[in-house]
Amino acid sequence: MAVRILKIVLVALVGLQGWFYAAGNIVNWDSGIGAVAYVLGMKGHEIYGNHIFPPITSTALVTIAFLIIITGEFLVGALSLKGAWDLWRARGGSADEFNSSKTFALLGPGMALVVWFGGFIVMGGALFQMWQTQIGSGSFDDAFVFAATSGLVLLFVNSADS
């Protein structure tokens, strides 16, 4: 039972992380837009000055990108917290019942990988080279931590319960 409770808590924490970041981005809208505009505009790229993708400077596209980030973070929270609830409800059941209740508990951390690995590390880091600047590097490094911890939760929760 202790391992099941630990899985529930970890999935809930992934969910809270998603919602805390979504809320933080909403209440810091102007700063968030500025940071996204800075990264997408590829400003301060002196190490790798030649771009493989054109800088994005359109206010509308920057706003859409920021909304995609917030939506992704919201989904991390919604899917994970639904997953934690499903696990909670099945915690006293058989191994098969508990294992079959993991769908959303896996989708939540999976969505976290999409947001922080796919969005920040692949798109932001590799495509927009955000690692070249202090602002971008901080987000890039933090995204690795969020993706790695979410990936570990995903693997742990996915392990079969007996």
User: For each of the chain's 162 residues, which pLDDT tens digit applies?
Assistant: 899 999 999 999 999 999 999 999 999 999 999 999 999 999 888 888 888 999 999 999 999 999 999 999 999 999 999 999 999 999 999 999 999 999 999 999 999 999 999 999 999 999 999 999 988 889 999 999 999 999 999 999 999 987
pLDDT score, position 162:
77
pLDDT score, position 161:
87
Q: Name the pTM for this structure.
A: 0.93
Cα angle, residue 68 at apex, residues 63 and 71 outer, rounded to 5°? 125
pLDDT score, position 13:
98
Question: CA dihedral defined by 132, 58, 29, 74, rounded to 10 degrees?
Answer: -80
In which residue are the tokens 């079969």 written? Answer: 160
pLDDT score, position 103:
98
The number of helix segments (H) and strand segments (E) in the chain equals 6, 0
SS3 breakdown of the chain: % helix, strand, coil, rounded to 5?
80, 0, 20
Q: Any alpha helices (H) in 28-133, and if so which ranges?
A: 29-40, 59-90, 95-100, 103-112
